[in-house]
Amino acid sequence: MIDEERLAERLVSQLAACTRPVVAFSGGVDSAVVAKAAYLAHGQDAVAVTAIGPAVAADERKMAQRVARGIGIRHELLATHEWRRPAYRRNAPDRCFHCKSELYGAITAWLDAQGELEREILSGANQDDLGDYRPGLQAASDFRVRHPLVECHMGKESVRRLARYWQLPVWDKPASPCLASRIAYGVEVTPDRLRRIETAESILRERGFAVVRVRLHADDLARIEVPRNELARLVEMLDEQLVEHLKQLGFRRVTVDMEGYRSGSLNEFLPVDVLARSVAKATADHDT
């Protein structure tokens, strides 16, 4: 555990230098590790804030509450209204920028109402995120949000090791981005479509698929992704009754992606130059 102890000491020391931290807290492994370190460094003066909106699945909200209670950190639920933003609903490749702008703006407004604008907002972005298409990082830069895991050069593997060391229940939890990330770019994000996706994924999890994505494409096509070693079981399970159940939610067609689950698979449809510019900017912003 020596390496984990050093990781913990480094991160807690980094957080100790923050001014009264408030963690943008999804309840996933990254933000849980940041919240734990913030609590160890600042005790009850640290705060975790979880956004509540149509794109946040109910199970994810409950998990965030459970993890925050286990850490002991003060936890606030904050309503966000990104779906009211036309640029967000249009669902262009920069959708996450508008979502994160809403989140960080809502946190800033909440801090202002509390008379606590001196607090520093922290995210759970890790070093590996700098190599992916993450327009939300630009919103973070606009609001001067800090990324302690990046500052400590911690990638996903180190984050999971540290979460296990701290016995956080989400240490091995699969990544679970917001429900809007399941909607293909150019297809409008609406509360109804988000609820449809949430319900469909819940149905499939109840049938034993711990990792599952229901991607919504144009013409209300549902493309289901599960890990490749579970594809045969999914195909066998997708009988006429289950397909009809999914169609009753509003999907017109139901398909299985035979390549299996890939994190961020909708980014495969983005032009290479868009991805390259995003990665270059994220790296440059961190270096400066």
pLDDT one digit per residue (tens) for the chain, 288 residues: 569 999 999 999 999 999 999 999 999 999 999 999 999 999 999 999 999 999 999 999 999 999 999 999 999 999 999 999 999 999 999 999 999 999 999 999 999 999 999 999 999 999 998 876 788 999 999 999 999 999 999 999 999 999 999 999 999 998 888 999 999 999 999 999 999 999 999 999 999 999 999 999 999 999 999 999 999 999 998 888 899 999 999 999 999 999 999 876 666 655 544 444 444 444 444 454
Q: Where are the domains of the chain?
A: 2-165, 179-263
Q: pTM to 2 decimals?
A: 0.87
Separation between Cα atoms, residue 98 and residue 91, nearest integer Å: 10
Q: Across the chain, how many H-helices and E-strands are there?
A: 12, 7
What pLDDT shows up at residue 2?
66
Topology classification of domain 2-165 = Rossmann fold (3.40.50)
Fold of 179-263: GMP Synthetase; Chain A, domain 3 (3.30.300)
Residue 149 is predicted with a pLDDT of: 97
Residue among 86, 62, 119 at smallest CA distance from 188:
86
Phi, psi at 238, each rounded to 5°: -75, 65
Q: How confident is the model at residue 230, as a pLDDT?
A: 96
Instruction: Look up residue 274 and give its DSSP letter.
Output: H
